[in-house]
A and B are shown apart, each in its own frame.
Chain A
Amino acid sequence: MALSPALRQSYPVWPALLAAIVCAAPFVAVAALAVSGEWTGYLTHLWSTRLPGYLIVTLQVTAISGALAAVTGACLAWLVARYEFAGRGVFEWLLAVPLAVPAYAAAYGWYDLTQAAGPLGFLPTVRGPAGAGLVLGLTLYPYVYLLAREAFSGQSSDAYEAARTLGARPGEAFVRAALPLARPAIAAGLALVVMETLADFGAVAHLGAPTLTVGLIRAWAGEGATAEAARLALMLVAFAFLIFALERSQRARARQTNASGRRKPARRVALSPLAGLGAAALCLTPVLLGMVIPLARLGYRALSAPVTRDLVSAAQNAVLLAAIAGVLAAGLGLAAAYALRTGTRHGAFAARAAGLGYAVPGAVAALGVLAILGALQGGLDALWTGLFGGVFPVMLTGGIAALIFAYLSRFAAAAIGPAESALSRVTPTLDAAARTLGANGRETAWRVHRPLIARGALLAALLVFVEVLKELPATMILRPFNFDTLAVIAHNYASDERLGEAALPALLIVLAALPAMIWIARRIVRAEGAT
């Protein structure tokens, strides 16, 4: 809902423009880098060597993780939204909690369990594209679950009841009425899963499934070929944008179907004790497979590993970075949400442009930040040399600021949604009421908006906090010299096959992310119950 022009002037649009620039600039830089220089010859070379492999593996991993996440997320969402059974209230939020587990942590755990010498060595070893797809699907399904659950407990549940009264049996009503109405939500969740899968580096690298992201990092790290990496990055982004566009086209339909607006929580069907036990077991399965079992293995391995001093400082670094990025991202998210609310065309455009950032994988964002800061550094060095002689005294690319820039570029978009839904609580008539009661724009923001959006802003900040804690590829590329985070340490040990030392930092990430994730999950679930 947009604000009337008479009330609009009090809220500036420039913060949203800033958000759009922060989110879009790295991608634009990567694109510029990629198309510079000799491009067609390189492509043919790449095509004849590694590219087909990267593409095939990427497709395999994405298909498996997407299918697994969509089926798991949608089915469990239906179970939890539609049926009443022992433990449902807990599973409702617990099913979202595996998001606190970075995919690479689950990958370390599962690989260690199922390798030939491991305790589950009788199972096929979790590795290769199939293994990576499974692990990613098990850790990312909550995206589908959360969005599908919301859809199922709302309108699509009314449609289900209508279908039942028209003579459809439960299964038929689910397929013909409930599922089609929830499809946009499932598609949105699936799009997030696919984008996260495309962006993942730690899990696919560890399990030996070289996707485009792995190729990109190899090109950058192994061969120092930034332009080549940028070209792979562009391909990766094209992939992600395709998913993004598909999801948007689904969402256009969602807007139509939501037109009637009225929402009441549907009464759930009570299951018999035995069926309830089955439902609880189903709900427990992904939590065990995606979180408990691999983490237990890591815990076991960590028992025998020493706690080193670099681990402590890495933990501090990780939490600090994630907290800074979370707060800043919440600010950018709010800026975009305000721009959407203001309803001016360029404000809305800026906000949507910022939202695209999520489709840009972390490695790509990092590469873009490198390109931007590198160019800036070049300019400044030249200027400095001309004025004072010598190079510019500050290394732009080697600082924490560069890292934060990349995090924001990728994750600020994740803060827009929560900020938007928080701001939607502040209806335009609340503004109108405050203004007619004598409060000016600033006072209205302080006395009415701030208390109403505070929790939503915290949710946005915590979401980004969790994401940044888990983030690996951008951190690897941009971290300052001698500056480690938990994710980097875990990855370095894991790639040296020193899983004992890798286990502790991976567990610490989950430990830091878990309270935030539980709060987020419970809050999302409760907020929907209230409407």
Chain B
Amino acid sequence: MILDDRVLDVRGATVRYAPGRPAVDGADLRLTCGRVTALLGPSGSGKSSLLRAIAGLEKLDGGEIRFENRIWSGPGRHLAPEQRRCGVVFQDYALFPHLSALDNTAFGLRGGQRAERRARALARLEAMELGARAHAFPHQLSGGEQQRVALARALAPDPDVMLLDEPFSGLDRRLRGDLRETTARALRDSDAATLLVTHDAEEALALADTIALMSQGRIIQTGAPDAVYLRPASLTAARLLGEVEAFEARVTGAAASTPLGEAPASGFEEGARVCVLARPEAIRIRRADAEGALAQIAARRPGSGQQRLVCTLEDGRAVSVRTALTAPHRPGDAVRLSLDPDNIHVIPAEAG
């Protein structure tokens, strides 16, 4: 750990709304200034509650949150939201309906002359390509414009921590792609420690330097996007980031045997029960005269540039395979399937 790093540290954070299982249940998370962390999890996993706790909008029932050695939330302590220098982009944007885009953006600016604050706010809006819409009111703005105003408003006071709660969820797909780029650029230009809460794996992979996976109130894995994608710590973690095939097996001779062939399992004891995880693109598909497990293509689902093939093995098990859209596979074809040993991942069975 580099001591100079400015970090936000969340340790064992617990948020409980009602008796019973807490919404956030001992979550650990570390955000570094200048980096974007995506918090990915299904709805109800406690992502938004954790974000709100960091912003000071919820009190912690356990654990602590500190920024640069200053305790923000902890036992018997709660720094008010207005004293935290946290910028938040809310899911519904929460633009003030009675203020123009410019006045919304200038809301959090303090000190100096009014004209100066407005000039700073206008510069923010112009950086978001919203200069021409500065005097429009929220109800006159499109969804994408509202999102950018919300981002400009949150970034305007140069916050130490930026929190984005599902910022693209209300937008259509095409707009989402454009906004993602704008947002990524704006976040990279700021030096804030950024947390992006999302349930969209693609969004997380595209925007984040680090991905944290959340399930049932806990952070179950943290790491670089491709590391988390290809080497998930558990089956739950693996499924959060996309489709995965899981084969249970026993280790014999440093290898686990699956219906699609052997998987190297050198780190495990002889006889240990393991789970072999393979993403659809880590399963090779070849013609029937090649080597591998015999299967038949049951269905083909074309996507953008890729196609997903549902193959049925001889024992009746269905396996998903992803290939280029141009690959010449048709439903009914007999094929051979095998594992790509470089891109599969073996975990202990109990972690599944």
Chain A residues within CB distance 8 Å of chain B: 4-7, 425, 427, 429-430, 432-440, 447-448, 451-452
Partner of B55 from A5, A432, A448 at Cβ < 8 Å? A432
Distance in Å from the Cβ of A286 to the closest Cβ of chain B?
A: 35
What is the CA–CA distance of A436 and B91 in the complex, to the nearest angstrom? 14
What is the CA–CA distance of A429 and B95 in the complex, to the nearest angstrom? 9
- Quick check: is B153 within 8 A (CB to CB) of the other chain? yes
Partner of A6 from B58, B85, B154 at Cβ < 8 Å? B58
Known: A4-B57, A425-B97. A437 touches B107 (CB 8 A): yes
Q: For A434, what are the chain B residues with a Cβ–Cβ distance below 8 Å?
A: 96, 107
Chain B residues within CB distance 8 Å of chain A: 52, 55-59, 78, 80-82, 84-88, 90-92, 94-98, 107-108, 110, 153-154, 157
CB <8 Å contact, B81 and A7: yes
What is the CA–CA distance of A434 and B92 in the complex, to the nearest angstrom? 14
Q: In chain A, what residue has the closest Cβ to B56?
A: A6
Q: For B154, what are the chain A residues with a Cβ–Cβ distance below 8 Å?
A: 436-437
CB <8 Å contact, B153 and A435: no
Q: For B97, what are the chain A residues with a Cβ–Cβ distance below 8 Å?
A: 425, 452
Q: For A440, what are the chain B residues with a Cβ–Cβ distance below 8 Å?
A: 80, 82
Partner of B57 from A430, A435, A447, A451 at Cβ < 8 Å? A435
CB <8 Å contact, B88 and A432: yes
Q: Classify the secondary structure of B's interface with A.
A: loop
Distance in Å from the Cβ of A441 to the closest Cβ of chain B?
A: 8
What is the CA–CA distance of A434 and B56 in the complex, to the nearest angstrom? 12
Q: For A436, what are the chain B residues with a Cβ–Cβ distance below 8 Å?
A: 55-57, 81-82, 84, 86-88, 154
CB <8 Å contact, A438 and B108: yes
CB <8 Å contact, A429 and B90: yes
Known: A4-B57, A429-B94, A430-B94. A437 touches B80 (CB 8 A): no
What is the CA–CA distance of A413 and B85 in the complex, to the nearest angstrom? 41
Q: For A435, what are the chain B residues with a Cβ–Cβ distance below 8 Å?
A: 56-57, 80-82
Q: In chain B, what residue has the closest Cβ to A454?
A: B98
What is the CA–CA distance of A432 and B98 in the complex, to the nearest angstrom? 16
Q: For B92, what are the chain A residues with a Cβ–Cβ distance below 8 Å?
A: 427, 429
CB <8 Å contact, A437 and B108: yes
CB <8 Å contact, B90 and A448: no
What is the CA–CA distance of A433 and B84 in the complex, to the nearest angstrom? 13
CB <8 Å contact, B57 and A438: no
Q: For B52, what are the chain A residues with a Cβ–Cβ distance below 8 Å?
A: 4, 432
Known: A435-B80, A436-B86, A447-B107. A7 touches B57 (CB 8 A): yes
Q: List 11 A-B contacts (CB under 8 A).
A: A4-B57, A5-B59, A6-B57, A6-B78, A429-B91, A435-B81, A436-B81, A436-B86, A436-B88, A438-B85, A448-B96
Q: In chain B, what residue has the closest Cβ to A7?
A: B57
CB <8 Å contact, B108 and A432: no
The 3 closest A-B pairs by CB, nearest first: A437-B108, A435-B81, A429-B94
Q: For A430, what are the chain B residues with a Cβ–Cβ distance below 8 Å?
A: 94, 96
Q: In chain A, what residue has the closest Cβ to B90?
A: A429
Distance in Å from the Cβ of B140 to the closest Cβ of chain A?
A: 13
What is the CA–CA distance of A250 and B280 in the complex, to the nearest angstrom? 55
Distance in Å from the Cβ of B94 to the closest Cβ of chain A?
A: 4
Distance in Å from the Cβ of B218 to the closest Cβ of chain A?
A: 21
Q: For B59, what are the chain A residues with a Cβ–Cβ distance below 8 Å?
A: 5-6
CB <8 Å contact, B110 and A438: yes
CB <8 Å contact, B107 and A432: no
Distance in Å from the Cβ of B118 to the closest Cβ of chain A?
A: 15
What is the CA–CA distance of A440 and B56 in the complex, to the nearest angstrom? 12
CB <8 Å contact, B96 and A432: no
Known: A5-B59, A427-B94, A433-B96. A439 touches B82 (CB 8 A): yes
What is the CA–CA distance of A451 and B94 in the complex, to the nearest angstrom? 15
Known: A6-B58, A425-B97. A433 touches B82 (CB 8 A): no
What is the CA–CA distance of A430 and B84 in the complex, to the nearest angstrom? 17
CB <8 Å contact, A4 and B58: yes
CB <8 Å contact, A433 and B98: no
Distance in Å from the Cβ of B121 to the closest Cβ of chain A?
A: 12
